Amino acid sequence: MPFAVCAALAWNLSCATAAELDVPTPYVPSTRLNVDEMLRLANVGPRDVVYDLGSGDGRVVIAAARDYGARGVGLDIDAALVRQSAENARRAGVADRAVFREADILTADVKDASVVTLYLLPVLVRRLQDRLFSELKPGTRIIAHEYGFPDWQPDRKVLISKTFYRYTVPARVGGSWQLETDAGGHHRAYEFNLEQRYQRIKGAASVTGGILPAFEAKLSGDRIAFILVEDDMSYRYEGRVRDDRMEGVVRWGYGPRLNETAWHATRVVSMGRG
Give the whole-angstrom CA distance, residue 203 versus residue 19. 43
Mean pLDDT of all residues in 209-231: 96
Q: Report the candidate in 105, 69, 100, 73 with the shortest Cα–Cα distance to residue 87.
A: 100
pLDDT at 15 over 70: no
pLDDT at 57 over 90: yes
pLDDT at 26 over 90: no
Q: Report the candidate in 29, 23, 5 with the shortest Cα–Cα distance to residue 127.
A: 5
CATH topology of domain 18-168: Rossmann fold (3.40.50)
pLDDT at 6 over 70: no
pLDDT at 267 over 80: yes
Could you tell me the pLDDT band of residue 258, with boundaries at 50, 70 and 90? very high
pLDDT at 110 over 80: yes
Could you tell me the pLDDT band of residue 209, with boundaries at 50, 70 and 90? confident
Instruction: Write down the pLDDT at residue 24.
Output: 41
Q: How many residues does the chain have?
A: 274
pLDDT single digits (tens) 139-164: 999 999 999 999 999 999 999 999 99
Query: Percent of the chain, pLDDT > 90?
Result: 85
Query: Percent of the chain, pLDDT > 70?
Result: 88
Instruction: Write down the pLDDT at residue 161.
Output: 92
Give the whole-angstrom CA distance, residue 82 versus residue 64. 17
Instruction: Write down the pLDDT at residue 208.
Output: 86
Going by their DSSP bridges, the two strands 71-76 and 98-102 should be labelled as parallel
Give the whole-angstrom CA distance, residue 36 versus residue 57. 15
Greater model confidence, 252 or 186: 252
User: Do the first three CATH levels of 18-168 and 175-270 match, i.e. the same topology?
Assistant: no
Find out if CATH 2.40.128.30 is the number for domain 175-270: yes
Give the whole-angstrom CA distance, residue 76 versus residue 78. 6
DSSP, residue by residue, the chain: --SSSBS-TTT---B--HHHH-S-----PPPHHHHHHHHHHTT--TT-EEEEES-TTSHHHHHHHHHH--EEEEEES-HHHHHHHHHHHHHHT-TTTEEEEE--TTT---TT-SEEEE---HHHHHHHHHHHHHHSPTT-EEEEES---SSS--SEEEEESEEEEEEEPPP---EEEEEEE-GGGS-EEEEEEEEEETTEEEEEEEETTEEEE-EEEEEETTEEEEEEEETTEEEEEEEEEETTEEEEEEEE-SSS--EEEEEEEEEEEE----
Instruction: Write down the pLDDT at residue 33.
Output: 96
Residue-range domain boundaries for the chain: 18-168, 175-270
Instruction: Write down the pLDDT at residue 269.
Output: 85
Q: Report the candidate in 151, 144, 150 with the shortest Cα–Cα distance to residue 120.
A: 144
Mean pLDDT of all residues in 37-60: 97
Mean pLDDT of the chain: 90
